[in-house]
A and B are shown apart, each in its own frame.
Chain A
Amino acid sequence: MPGRIGVVTFPGSLDDRDARRAVRRAGGTPVALWHAEEDLHGVDAVILPGGFSYGDYLRCGAIARFAPIMRVVVDGARDGLPVLGICNGFQILCEAHLLPGALIRNVGRRFGCVDQPLIVGNAATAWTSAYTSGQRIVVPLKNGEGCYLADERVLDELEATGRVVARYAVDDEHPDPNGSARAIAGVCNPDGTVVGLMPHPEHAVEALTGPGQDGLGFFTSILGAVPGVLAGR
């Protein structure tokens, strides 16, 4: 039985179908999870997908963190359950205090959708082991509130402990997309099991429909990590 990866659908989730497709393309078994159920159906890992949960009319992710499913996600994460939050999912993880910091409105104050080059900062997490540290990958980035902020002490600690999972590669052709502190695109918890990522690797899993297949590694990584994670619990 290949790894069973749960993908939560909140009201307003949009990239849930794409995340399930990415799991499938990576060789895993996607399992649809419903926000109102306090049940993980025995999955090996969980993805909180992108979208606008509850419309994000309040602070992004601020309502979703109180969904019944989040109780079991938070409890599971504290026990080592791997969780990947993509975009809105990252915002939810921050609101749920599984990850430090917050995501606020882009400095340009506009929604932006670009093919974004990233530099992988930590290739030792449950979700990034298929990459090498320092590897440059291109993954779509699309958000209105993707500016990552945390206080200086937290940022220093994240950097010192290797918890910056990916940064935006900024150069002449690729301007700073959203003003994130220290160009941070993604961070993880101290164990490397919970990862929040603003860009969308699920939109880069086949050349036909994305800028390439650079995003597939996030999903193959977790499928490789799952048995080990389970054995450790």
Chain B
Amino acid sequence: MIQPYADLGLQREEYDRICALLDRQPSDAELAMYAVMWSEHCSYKSSKVHLRQFADLPRSEALLAGMGENAGVVEVGPGLAVTFKVESHNHPSYVEPYQGAATGVGGIVRDILAMGARPVAVLDSLRFGAADAPDTRRVLPGVVAGVGGYGNCLGLPNIGGEVVFDPTYAGNPLVNALCLGVLPSERLQLSSASGVGNQVLLLGSLTGRDGIGGVSVLASATFEESGGPSKRPSVQVGDPFTEKIVIECCLELFDRGLVSGIQDLGGAGLACGLSETAAKGGVGMRIDLAAVPLREASMVPLEILTSESQERMLAIVAPQDVAAALAVAERWGVLATVIGQVTETGRLVVDWRGEVVVDVPPGSLADDGPVYSRPMCRPADLDALAAAVPAGLPRPVTGEELRATLVRLVGSPNLCSRRWVTDQYDRYVLGDTVLAQPEDAGVVRLDEKTGLGVALALDGNGRYTRLDPYAGAQLALAEAYRNVAVVGARPLAVTNCLNVGSPEDPAVMWQFAEITRGLADGCRALGLPVTGGNVSFYNSTGAVPINPTPVVGVLGVMADVARRTPIGFRHPGEAVYLLGRTEEEFGGSEWAWVVHQHLGGRPPRVDFGAEQRLAGVCAQAADEGLLGAAHDLSDGGLAQALVECCLRYGVGAEVEPDLGPAADPFVALFAESAARAVVAVPPPAEERLHVLCTEQGVPALRIGRTGGDHLIVSGVCTVPLADLRAAHAGTLPALFG
């Protein structure tokens, strides 16, 4: 009998391997399970060999659970831990923007819940094609409404993220969502099944035909030129209300000690949940598939096993606790069904109406998938890109030209106000949001009595990474690290979502290897563990991959969130300092892109030592309450940072054009050198700031003072804040209504 392995996304060699593992042909249901479990999305078969570098990083004392679990868990205070992770939902969001983005949020929230944590905040990193491209008008409003619709309805504040436009993402928008959760350390849950005789409980939504093959058909293949909407049946549909009650139900089950293991059902559905929990626990399972409550009665075993219906969790419950667990579910209105039990056989056996349809070792699905060392080849055009330096591009020289450049950049799609997007997100719910967008990092209070809290930032830069994947990954890490440090937190751990093209393209695989190497080296330099993450391959349209885009999340801890430093100038008469060194760095810059549509040269230099010293100054200054404001410098350079500082509370500033080593005002204003921040300091605290900067070896340049309702660059230009606000605020509403 010839089986349809290729249609399910399996290679011939992979199919042969399945037959060899089983010593027979797989049943239809088994074949479907192997197809989804051995898909790129579930098995990490192309990335595994590179991701091992993260596991080799020095382990932090604070790390309670790391890679391999649903999300990493870090202890932040006595008996108190947080868990966080970022994940992609790129392909579904292109096919069906609202549901794709919504279920992306839903999926990462369940990962966090599965660790035993209460989800308390989300961040989203979004990338679209050119802002004025027709398809962006289809995709962006739906994605934003989906992220908002799901998160708002779950009652999770959205506290930060990014929105980036670049033609490279036109056929492959990126939707990466991060969720933060909090748990008492002793409530940590693990996703393994144990205890022969324990019952397997399915919680949450009915199982339907939605999302079948999502991980294999959608997320593990490249879009053909016209392939998008025809794959719509592979996109899941979200029900945030059910997720909300599933969260409350699970938290009560954890608190009452009624579950011994738990796993969320997302990509690959029951096939994944059953095989992973059984494999982790080294046990077998006997499942009665007919017990699974279905949305459509006509579903067949392979559909039930691979359905990606959302808002479902799999719990392992001791027999004597089943009645109590079912009562908790009943109280929350959550459907709960015993579908099987843990056995000593070491095999995953699935019955369907009196017939055994699956009988396999669970580890063969979860752990024994193929591992590829894919061929790699440095992209042929990299040298040419590096040689196309931005030095020769015409630059603004006169005061009027500089003013016009400033206003143009402030209103450009990547630098303008994000309020059109972020106003669709609830940032207040749960009452513990201390900072949210447009601040550098989101800050959430965890303990009302002590003020203990955490800061989170999520950053990436596809253009830098295109020019140099190793450096680009490190720059993403450096920016997220800096954003967390600038608000006054001490960086503690890293998560990442690596978005690239097809792993079958050797040039993409080389980029991916460089990204992981850069990130691992960067984390080693900063002394931070990678606690988990996600890989999204196949972000290609036809043969053209996206600019490789590692998105990096950094979590920091604050002993007292009342000491956080916001970005906005609030009081006139404060001294404005530029911390860090400015070089003539324009490769991959926003200026080169907006003004000249130019991408070439080298991205800014990375100096983790300088980042650590800057972070040290910011954290100490925040502890001592020295700063009125602090803002990290990144895209758009000093000019953009100053505009954002001024517009936040409508307090202007006057700064000198002669910024020390970078005497050229154009370089001073628009260069994108890393490891820099602008801070506002009340005059009595200036001396202390100098001492801190000298101790740490951070260059500190007094560049002006706050006040007035203009941004004045002395001797260069004077721009009313009203003009800046109009340019900054008007762009997205004009594009998206």
Identify the closest chain A residue to B240 (Cβ): A55
Identify the closest chain B residue to A114 (Cβ): B423
Q: Is the CB of B431 within 8 A of A18?
A: yes
On whether A203 and B149 interact (CB within 8 A), knowing A11-B241, A114-B423, the answer reads no
A interface, size bucket: 20 to 34
Chain B residues lying within 8 Å of A55, measured Cβ to Cβ, are: 153, 239-242, 244
Within A103-120, which residues are at the interface with B (CB < 8 Å)?
A: 110-114
A12 within 8 A of B: yes
On whether A113 and B428 interact (CB within 8 A), knowing A11-B333, A51-B155, A208-B445, the answer reads yes
* B17 nearest CB across to chain A (Å): 44
A136 within 8 A of B: no
Q: Is the CB of A209 within 8 A of B152?
A: no
Chain A residues lying within 8 Å of B245, measured Cβ to Cβ, are: 11-12
Within A83-133, which residues are at the interface with B (CB < 8 Å)?
A: 110-114
* A138 nearest CB across to chain B (Å): 13
Q: Is the CB of B434 within 8 A of A15?
A: no
Within B438-454, which residues are at the interface with A (CB < 8 Å)?
A: 445, 448
Q: How far is the CA of A148 from the CA of B241 in the complex (A)?
A: 24
Chain B residues lying within 8 Å of A208, measured Cβ to Cβ, are: 434, 445, 561-562
* A51 nearest CB across to chain B (Å): 6
A71 within 8 A of B: no
B626 within 8 A of A: no
Q: What 1/0 mask marks residues of chain A from 181 to 216 whose CB sits below 8 Å from any chain B CB?
A: 000000000000000000010110000111000000
Within B416-469, which residues are at the interface with A (CB < 8 Å)?
A: 422-434, 445, 448
Q: How far is the CA of A50 from the CA of B153 in the complex (A)?
A: 10
Q: What 1/0 mask marks residues of chain A from 15 to 27 whose CB sits below 8 Å from any chain B CB?
A: 1011001000000
Q: What 1/0 mask marks residues of chain B from 244 to 288 whose CB sits below 8 Å from any chain A CB?
A: 110000000000000000000000000000000000000000000
Q: What 1/0 mask marks residues of chain A from 132 to 157 whose CB sits below 8 Å from any chain B CB?
A: 00000000101010000000000000
B614 within 8 A of A: no
A219 within 8 A of B: no
* B228 nearest CB across to chain A (Å): 25
Q: How far is the CA of A86 from the CA of B242 in the complex (A)?
A: 22
Chain A residues lying within 8 Å of B423, measured Cβ to Cβ, are: 112-114
Q: What 1/0 mask marks residues of chain B from 559 to 589 whose CB sits below 8 Å from any chain A CB?
A: 0011000000000000000000000000000
Selected from B425, B429, B434, B448, the residue in CB contact (under 8 A) with A14 is B429
B637 within 8 A of A: no
Identify the closest chain B residue to A177 (Cβ): B423
Q: Is the CB of B145 within 8 A of A110?
A: yes
Chain B residues lying within 8 Å of A57, measured Cβ to Cβ, are: 241
Q: How far is the CA of A209 from the CA of B433 in the complex (A)?
A: 5
Q: How far is the CA of A142 from the CA of B149 in the complex (A)?
A: 12
Chain B residues lying within 8 Å of A210, measured Cβ to Cβ, are: 428, 431
Within A45-72, which residues are at the interface with B (CB < 8 Å)?
A: 50-52, 54-57
Q: Is the CB of A209 within 8 A of B432?
A: yes
On whether A17 and B241 interact (CB within 8 A), knowing A11-B333, A110-B145, A113-B426, the answer reads no
Selected from B148, B428, B445, B561, the residue in CB contact (under 8 A) with A203 is B428
How many residues in B have their beta carbons less than 8 Å from beta carbons of A?
A: 33
Q: How far is the CA of A115 from the CA of B424 in the complex (A)?
A: 13
On whether A113 and B425 interact (CB within 8 A), knowing A52-B240, A52-B241, A208-B562, the answer reads yes
Q: Is the CB of A111 within 8 A of B424?
A: yes
Q: Is the CB of A14 within 8 A of B155?
A: yes
On whether A21 and B428 interact (CB within 8 A), knowing A57-B241, A208-B445, the answer reads no
Q: How far is the CA of A55 from the CA of B153 in the complex (A)?
A: 7
Identify the closest chain B residue to A53 (Cβ): B241
Q: Is the CB of A113 within 8 A of B424?
A: yes
Q: How far is the CA of A17 from the CA of B332 in the complex (A)?
A: 17
Q: How far is the CA of A150 from the CA of B149 in the complex (A)?
A: 27
Q: Is the CB of A52 within 8 A of B153?
A: yes
Q: How far is the CA of A32 from the CA of B244 in the complex (A)?
A: 18
B148, B152, B240, B433 pick with most chain A CB within 10 angstroms: B152
Q: How far is the CA of A199 from the CA of B423 in the complex (A)?
A: 15
Q: Is the CB of B434 within 8 A of A209?
A: yes
* A178 nearest CB across to chain B (Å): 12
Selected from A51, A110, A113, A209, the residue in CB contact (under 8 A) with B431 is A209
Q: Is the CB of B424 within 8 A of A112?
A: yes
Q: Is the CB of A140 within 8 A of B428?
A: yes
Chain B residues lying within 8 Å of A111, measured Cβ to Cβ, are: 145, 148-149, 152, 424-426
Q: How far is the CA of A17 from the CA of B256 in the complex (A)?
A: 20
Chain A residues lying within 8 Å of B429, measured Cβ to Cβ, are: 14-15, 18, 50, 142, 203
Q: How far is the CA of A56 from the CA of B333 in the complex (A)?
A: 15
* A208 nearest CB across to chain B (Å): 6
Q: How far is the CA of A18 from the CA of B152 in the complex (A)?
A: 15
Selected from B241, B331, B426, B562, the residue in CB contact (under 8 A) with A142 is B426
Chain B residues lying within 8 Å of A209, measured Cβ to Cβ, are: 428, 431-434, 445
Selected from A52, A112, A142, the residue in CB contact (under 8 A) with B428 is A142
Q: How far is the CA of A18 from the CA of B433 in the complex (A)?
A: 12
Chain A residues lying within 8 Å of B153, measured Cβ to Cβ, are: 12, 14, 52, 55-56
B429, B430, B434, B448 pick with most chain A CB within 10 angstroms: B429
Chain A residues lying within 8 Å of B242, measured Cβ to Cβ, are: 55
Chain B residues lying within 8 Å of A12, measured Cβ to Cβ, are: 153, 241, 244-245
Within B330-345, which residues are at the interface with A (CB < 8 Å)?
A: 331-333
* A39 nearest CB across to chain B (Å): 15
Q: Is the CB of B241 within 8 A of A54?
A: yes
Q: How far is the CA of A208 from the CA of B430 in the complex (A)?
A: 13
Q: How far is the CA of A210 from the CA of B155 in the complex (A)?
A: 16
Chain A residues lying within 8 Å of B561, measured Cβ to Cβ, are: 208
Selected from A15, A21, A200, A202, the residue in CB contact (under 8 A) with B155 is A15
Chain A residues lying within 8 Å of B333, measured Cβ to Cβ, are: 11
Chain A residues lying within 8 Å of B430, measured Cβ to Cβ, are: 17-18
Identify the closest chain A residue to B725 (Cβ): A173
Chain B residues lying within 8 Å of A14, measured Cβ to Cβ, are: 153-155, 244, 429
Chain A residues lying within 8 Å of B332, measured Cβ to Cβ, are: 11
On whether A200 and B428 interact (CB within 8 A), knowing A11-B241, A12-B245, A208-B561, the answer reads yes
* A17 nearest CB across to chain B (Å): 7
Chain A residues lying within 8 Å of B562, measured Cβ to Cβ, are: 208
* A126 nearest CB across to chain B (Å): 23
Q: How far is the CA of A111 from the CA of B423 in the complex (A)?
A: 8
Q: How far is the CA of A188 from the CA of B343 in the complex (A)?
A: 61
Chain A residues lying within 8 Å of B433, measured Cβ to Cβ, are: 209
* B294 nearest CB across to chain A (Å): 21
* A218 nearest CB across to chain B (Å): 15
* B682 nearest CB across to chain A (Å): 19
Q: How far is the CA of A200 from the CA of B428 in the complex (A)?
A: 9
Q: How far is the CA of A12 from the CA of B148 in the complex (A)?
A: 16
Q: How far is the CA of A51 from the CA of B155 in the complex (A)?
A: 7
Chain B residues lying within 8 Å of A56, measured Cβ to Cβ, are: 153, 241
Q: How far is the CA of A57 from the CA of B242 in the complex (A)?
A: 11
Chain A residues lying within 8 Å of B154, measured Cβ to Cβ, are: 14
Chain B residues lying within 8 Å of A15, measured Cβ to Cβ, are: 155, 429
Identify the closest chain A residue to B333 (Cβ): A11
* B253 nearest CB across to chain A (Å): 16
Q: How far is the CA of A228 from the CA of B134 in the complex (A)?
A: 62
* B150 nearest CB across to chain A (Å): 11
Q: What 1/0 mask marks residues of chain B from 134 to 178 whose CB sits below 8 Å from any chain A CB?
A: 000000000001001100111100000000000000000000000
Q: How far is the CA of A148 from the CA of B153 in the complex (A)?
A: 21
* B660 nearest CB across to chain A (Å): 37
A52-B153, A55-B240, A111-B425 known; 15 new pairs, CB 8 Å cut-off, are: A14-B244, A18-B428, A18-B431, A36-B331, A52-B241, A55-B242, A56-B153, A113-B424, A113-B426, A144-B152, A202-B431, A208-B562, A209-B432, A209-B433, A209-B445
Q: What are the 7 A-B residue pairs with the smallest beta carbon separation, nearest first?
A: A55-B241, A14-B155, A18-B431, A203-B428, A52-B153, A140-B428, A142-B426
17 A-B pairs within 8 Å (CB atoms) are namely A14-B244, A18-B429, A18-B431, A55-B242, A110-B424, A111-B149, A112-B423, A112-B424, A113-B423, A113-B425, A113-B426, A142-B428, A142-B429, A144-B152, A208-B434, A208-B445, A209-B434
